Amino acid sequence: MQALDALKNRISHGKLQAPGPSPEQRAEIEAAALRAADHGNLRPWRYLYISGEGLQALGELYLKAALADKPELDEQQKERFLKMPLRAPCLYVAIANITEHPKVPREEQLMAAAASVQNMITAAFALGVGAYWRSGDMAFHQVVKDGLGLQATEEIVGFVYMGTPQLPNRSAPELQVPDFFQNWPN
């Protein structure tokens, strides 16, 4: 797929099934992540790749986090947390590593990490790999951060689910460029 076609037409796939991306596809997606715009070339990102039994372990970590907030969860609620990461055959935990820098504030480092994730999901789309960037309460929960080994300087910017799309690509929403771009001064 041409780069511009991927950039203009990328969509997320919520319904994902096995197989996940091949080693060759993963190599392309991961290389794309590293070419995000990055003030100061700080590379303020790192990723954890989780598949197979790792997804079950992540579900158990989610449940531990949820129980820390609310010990009286019923069985159905517990099952929901355990199953949450099983939406796809694999996922990447996208992590921003924020360092003190005289010219690059925290916000810019988060933006660079987010740009890196955007590169990944666009690369995945170009390769025919389905992807879905999610966050949610678990992305911000200290129990989850600790369980995944994050340092105090690190934040989760997303869980990027990947796999084979269950549905064909839908059309990207038709947004009107002039609604978002104006000349200044008019």
Ligand X SMILES: Cc1cc2nc3c(=O)[nH]c(=O)nc-3n(C[C@H](O)[C@H](O)[C@H](O)COP(=O)(O)O)c2cc1C
For residue 186, the minimal CB distance to ligand X (Å) is 30
Closer residue to ligand X (CB): 11 or 148: 11
> Which segments of 48-105 does DSSP mark as H helices, in order?
53-69, 75-83
Q: Counting contacts by CB under 6 A, is residue 169 touching ligand X?
A: no
Cβ 89 vs Cβ 19: under 8 Å:
yes
Q: Counting contacts by CB under 6 A, is residue 9 touching ligand X?
A: no
Closer residue to ligand X (CB): 11 or 82: 11
- Tell which residue, 162, 160, 116, has the closest CA to residue 134: 160
Binder among 7, 136, 140, 169 for ligand X (CB under 6 A):
136
Taking the CB of residue 97, how many other CB atoms lie within 10 A of it? 16
Q: Counting contacts by CB under 6 A, is residue 135 touching ligand X?
A: yes
Q: Counting contacts by CB under 6 A, is residue 134 touching ligand X?
A: yes
Closer residue to ligand X (CB): 46 or 134: 134
Instruction: Report CA-CA distances (Å) from 86 to 17, 81, 162.
Output: 10, 10, 11
Residue numbers at the binding site for ligand X (CB under 6 A): 11-12, 132-136, 158
